Amino acid sequence: MVVEEVGFVSKPDQLQVPDAVPEALNKLRERFLLIVVTNQSGIGRGYYTEENLLEIHTSLVTFLGERGAAVDCIYFCPHHPTLAVPEYRQACECRKPEAGMLLRAANTWNIDLASSFMVGDAVTDMEAARAAGVTGIKVGQDPGENSGPEPVVQSLEEAAELILGRLSGQNSTAREGTQ
């Protein structure tokens, strides 16, 4: 996770980035493009605007840059199938668990999805990864949540170690998810 889950972030000063995230991103950046895909139904619900989200993403990119880290692109989905104002109320291909944002990134950036990883904290993240043919890695585990077959780690740093370890053929310390 690049940012901590704190509900609907509507202003840049609400962002919470764990201290070790920039270093983890830099390790991954040596081998991968770094693309963020995020559901942002708060836009559709009227909690904040697309312009607010741009300010938040700009703040995130600046924060990372000040620490020597970067992401290549951020994709977001503002829609929700039932809980949004009419303009944003729709079932779409971009909202996770659908794979639309991943497929769009693959097309735009010429990414081999079968050689890619998706790190996320939600079941919908892992479902989107599966739908796109991407290897998922789950961060954290909510009580009672069935994580699926993906390995489970506790931080982005552990996910980076797992990914880079797999590439170099090392054994992983991640807990395998359950079906």
The answer to whether residue 30 is domain-embedded is yes
The answer to whether residue 173 is domain-embedded is no
Q: Which tens digits make up the pLDDT trace of 43-95?
A: 999 999 999 999 999 999 999 999 999 999 999 999 999 999 999 999 999 99
The answer to whether residue 161 is domain-embedded is no
Q: Which tens digits make up the pLDDT trace of 129-173?
A: 999 999 999 998 755 565 689 999 999 999 999 999 988 875 444
Question: What domain range includes position 58?
Answer: 12-137
Q: What is the CATH number of the domain that holds 120?
A: 3.40.50.1000
Question: Which pLDDT score, from 0 to 100, does residue 170 have?
Answer: 56
Question: Which pLDDT score, from 0 to 100, does residue 175 have?
Answer: 40
| pTM of the model as a whole | 0.89
Domain count, the chain: 1
The answer to whether residue 4 is domain-embedded is no
DSSP secondary structure letters along 90-130 = ---SSSTTSSHHHHHHHHHHT--GGG-EEEESSHHHHHHHH
The answer to whether residue 84 is domain-embedded is yes
Question: Which pLDDT score, from 0 to 100, does residue 142 have?
Answer: 59
Q: How far is CA 100 from CA 24, 25, 122, 154, 161, in A?
A: 26, 23, 16, 26, 27
The answer to whether residue 154 is domain-embedded is no
Bigger pLDDT: 131 or 18?
131
Residue type, 105: A
The answer to whether residue 41 is domain-embedded is yes
The answer to whether residue 5 is domain-embedded is no
Residue 24's pLDDT band, with cuts at 50, 70 and 90, is very high
